[in-house]
Amino acid sequence: MNGAHDLGGMMGFGPLAPERDEPVFHSHWESRACAVTIAAGACGLWSLDESRSVRENLAPAQYLAKPYYDVWITALEKLAVAHGLVSAEELAVGRPLAPPRAAPKVTPRRMAEAIARGSPYDRPPSAAAAFAVGDRVRARMMNPPGHTRLPRYARGRVGEVAALRGAFVFPDTNAHAQGENPQWLYTIRFTARELWGDDADPRSTVTIDAFEPYLEPA
């Protein structure tokens, strides 16, 4: 969806202001927000793609105004209700009102294993790759209302296949419980001028990682 999360190329956010000797977390609530989001994800009821989709579905004004971990928590509240872990009433009062639903319990050991193992997203391909390294391809002009990982700035632009990464879970379907639907993933290189026009740096390029359904021959 064309949400506020798709930020590439926007202007007006001001300087970057990197912080020296930045702590890992800036407050207790940030550390708990990060941990509870990771732990709840380890219940296995939703995918990373679904949680990204919920975050980017926040109204643009909300998405841009909220602190980073507030976006996470707002999405986690929605996911926890949508998947029946908690009810909206329980969230409002902050204590349990009904018995839990069935879900794997997240213990320290299970969590440590999940962090160490991760969740690989590569899958066996179901067909041969349509493109090869060096091919010229165009990122499709598309504006799906659901989740996608093709940024707006690349849509309609012509680039070159820089790498073939293998077949991976397709976020556009996986985010919406429509299956993993594995697709070939390519790294596509665009010149800065192709993306941003003649004023762009002639020596810069931008690559994106694009799934095969995002691409057409150029």
50 to 89, contacts with other proteins by CB under 8 A? Answer: 52, 55-56, 64, 67-70, 73, 76-77, 80, 85-86
Q: Which of 136, 143, 204, 218 binds other proteins (CB under 8 A)?
A: 204
Please, what is the Cα angle at 54 between 49 and 57, to 5 degrees?
A: 120
- Which of helix, strand or coil describes residue 157? coil
- Please choose, out of 33-41, 124-132, 172-180, the segment that lies near other proteins by the rule CB under 8 A: 33-41
Neighbouring-strand partners of residue 160: 136, 189
Q: Does 211 bind other proteins (CB under 8 A)?
A: yes
Q: Does 100 bind other proteins (CB under 8 A)?
A: yes
Report CA dihedral (42, 44, 50, 55) to the nearest 10 degrees: -30
Q: Does 18 bind other proteins (CB under 8 A)?
A: yes
CB of 100 or CB of 178, closer to other proteins: 100
Judge whether 74 and 58 are in contact, CB under 8 Å: yes
Of 150, 151, 199, 157, the residue nearest 9 (C-alpha): 151
Site size with other proteins, rule: CB under 8 A: 94
Q: Does 33 bind other proteins (CB under 8 A)?
A: yes
CB of 112 or CB of 218, closer to other proteins: 112
Q: Nearest approach, Cβ of 56 to other proteins (angstroms)?
A: 8
Query: Residue 87: which residues within 8 A CB-CB, separation 6 or more?
Result: 81, 97, 98
Distance CA 182, CA 166 (A): 10
Q: Which of 123, 138, 149, 155 binds other proteins (CB under 8 A)?
A: 149
Q: Does 9 bind other proteins (CB under 8 A)?
A: yes
